[in-house]
Structure 1
Amino acid sequence: MAAAALTGAAMPAAAQESTNQVAANTAWSVFEDKNPKECWAVSAPTETVNTRDGRVVAVRRGSILLMTFFRPDAGVAGQVAFTGGYPFAGGSTVEIDVDGTSFDLFTEGEWAWPASKADDAKIIAAMKAGSNATLTARSSRGTQTKDTFSLSGYTAAMGEAEKRCK
């Protein structure tokens, strides 16, 4: 599925502005919006490292979020999405490593997603079984970012988001 086809359905409309938090499970929170109906489990990183030319650098980034969301009216049930808080380098991918198992996410603008529903399912299964997810990406300015997320509470948060958006 092409990135452009997912853009409209991939990001929860209020993912970064919503105040509709309905649950929290350790490192993960659950949000729900009613119109359109959408629910998502989301977490911020526990560690972030930014490098350029092999050196750690300080950079300004927006919200850094890893999420799994559900939007029943759009047929979205368990889609992984990541925003690094900056525009990704054109044509680049984001690598998600869950306890040594790697997957690629394609990018568009500031967002990255798996290429297919089958890839979503594989990543979700790994995240449910894992303890940490590390996402490595490259910005349009050439900065490499490495964001580590705890998966503690992920299974419960994802289950709650799914239940709320059946």
Structure 2
Amino acid sequence: MPRRLPLLLIALLIAAPASARDNLGVYGKWAAFRDPAVPRCYAIAMAEPSRLQRDFQPYAAIGTWPRRNERGQIHFRLSRKLAQGARVVLTISGQRFELSAGGGDAWAADKRMDAAVAAAMRSAGSMTVSARDASGRNFANTYALSGAATAMDAAQIGCAGIR
């Protein structure tokens, strides 16, 4: 059953008007939302806490845009600005995915990778995105996957009737 939003998710959502999003539920470390103005639905989670430098608040999201016929798009907001040409690698249960990236964001290279990442997330306990920042230092953001599958399903269902 959905719980109240954790404080970190609330902080993430403050940037947009509260009326712009419908809470579809909180499941473990993940939450699902519908934004009827776009329209889009997505599952989202904050990275595990860290005492290391952060340029941005990192999060992972899996989005659906029904009017664009886009489903299950993976997106990561990284904790630091990337070095020019930096390689960004997502690791889930020993599987490695090289992501496309720029600035402070990373995403799957194509729809096939989106699907493979989402499938791997459903059966893993955590995932880690690693890269090199603009200062040349390596960094990583780790995400617990508790509730990810349910949040992804809630986001898909939340946009199922939108055409």
**Is TM (by shorter chain) over 0.5?**
yes
In the TM superposition, 1:9-158 aligns within 5 A as: 17-18=15-16, 19=18, 20=21, 21-48=23-50, 58-158=52-152
Runs of 4+ in 1 over 3 A off after TM superposition: none
**Is the CA contact 2:24–2:158 (under 8 Å) kept in the aligned structure 1?**
no
Q: 1:100 to 1:47 in 2, by over 3 A?
A: farther
- C-alpha distance in 1 between matches for 2:135 and 2:14: 23
What is the number of residues matched between the two proteins? 145
SS in 1 for 2:53: coil
Higher strand share: 1
- C-alpha distance in 2 between matches for 1:78 and 1:135: 18
- C-alpha distance in 1 between matches for 2:79 and 2:13: 13
Unaligned runs of 5+ in 2: 1-11
| Amino acid of the structure 1 residue aligned with 2:15 | E
Unaligned runs of 5+ in 1: 1-13, 50-57
SS in 1 for 2:136: coil
Identical amino acids, percent of aligned pairs: 26
**Is the CA contact 2:24–2:154 (under 8 Å) kept in the aligned structure 1?**
no
TM normalised by structure 2 equals 0.81
- C-alpha distance in 1 between matches for 2:14 and 2:159: 19
Aligned match of 1:163 in 150, 157, 160? 157
- C-alpha distance in 2 between matches for 1:117 and 1:161: 17
**Is the CA contact 2:88–2:99 (under 8 Å) kept in the aligned structure 1?**
yes
